[in-house]
Amino acid sequence: MTTPPPPPPRLRNILLGILVVVVLIVSLCSASVLVKWAGTAFLVLPRVFGVVESVRGHEIVILPLNSSPTAVVFPYPEKYLVYTSDLALLEISANLQASDARPWLVVQHAGTAEIVPVTFLQRGLMPYDDPRAPGRPILAFEIAQPGTYALSHPRQDLAVALVPDRTTGQEGLIALGFLAQLALLAVPIALVFGRPWWDQRRAWRRHQQERRRASETMLRRRTGRLD
């Protein structure tokens, strides 16, 4: 007796499998973007209570690296993070940091020629990083005096983003805000999906108790007949 061959796959199943593979590939390629946008949704409470100040779009500076030095105007005294998604630049920064070398970026005040210290960032991608800036932050510096600065760097055919840093030092409060919003989201989810589960569990317990009582009653009757 021969086993019949399996049925050929349907066109719908083939297309569905291709769609799933494409979605997985796109999700993996844009994982950092998805993480940052998901984190942005959980920054609502920290921003409402003034823990984190929002960064406006015009405050993000796109710095092309195809010419050096580049003049950039910083209107406010605050900290900045340098974002990049270029793998080669990420590797260069990691190697420089591992060898205790100076960062590849030099920030100098155009009027006083004062050099602003630039440091490597000692962390990876975080959910509260700005999703409008590609990649993750790799360098940090602080502008103490507003004005025009000359940014010197190796010339490359790419660009980085300078984003005001308004989250460093607030990580603990941001984490509490994340947990609070997760708790708020868990309440309606528990009411919608948890209640049917508890109802089914109560019904199953009642059914088990009824069966146990029925078994005990039947056992007593049989015992009484034997006596």
Q: What share of the chain in percent tops pLDDT 90?
A: 37
d(CA 106, CA 151): 6
- The answer to whether residue 13 scores a pLDDT higher than 70 is no
- Is residue 209 domain-resident? no
With beta carbons less than 8 A apart as the criterion, state whether 27 and 34 touch: yes
- Whether residue 3 is contained in a domain is answered as no
Q: How confident is the model at residue 217 (pLDDT cuts 50, 70, 90)?
A: confident
* Within a domain: 67: yes
Residue 136 maps to a domain: yes
Residue 11 has pLDDT above 70, yes or no: no
User: Which neighbouring-strand residues pair with 107?
Assistant: 116, 151
Give me the number of domains the chain comprises.
Answer: 1
SS3 content of the chain, % helix, strand, coil (to 5): 45, 20, 35
Average pLDDT rounded to a whole number, residues 62-80:
93
Residue numbers of the domain that contains 165: 56-169
In a domain, 227, yes or no: no
Mean pLDDT of 64-86: 93
Angle between helices 11-29 and 31-41 (to 10 degrees): 70
Global pTM reads 0.67
Going by pLDDT thresholds of 50, 70 and 90, the confidence category of residue 22 is low
Classify residue 165: in a domain, yes or no.
Answer: yes
CA distance 76 to 84: 22
Q: Per the domain annotation, does 35 fall within a domain? A: no
Confidence category of residue 27, pLDDT binned at 50, 70, 90: very low
Is position 124 within any domain?
Answer: yes
Segment 45-74 shows an average pLDDT of 87
Give me the pLDDT at residue 218, please: 74
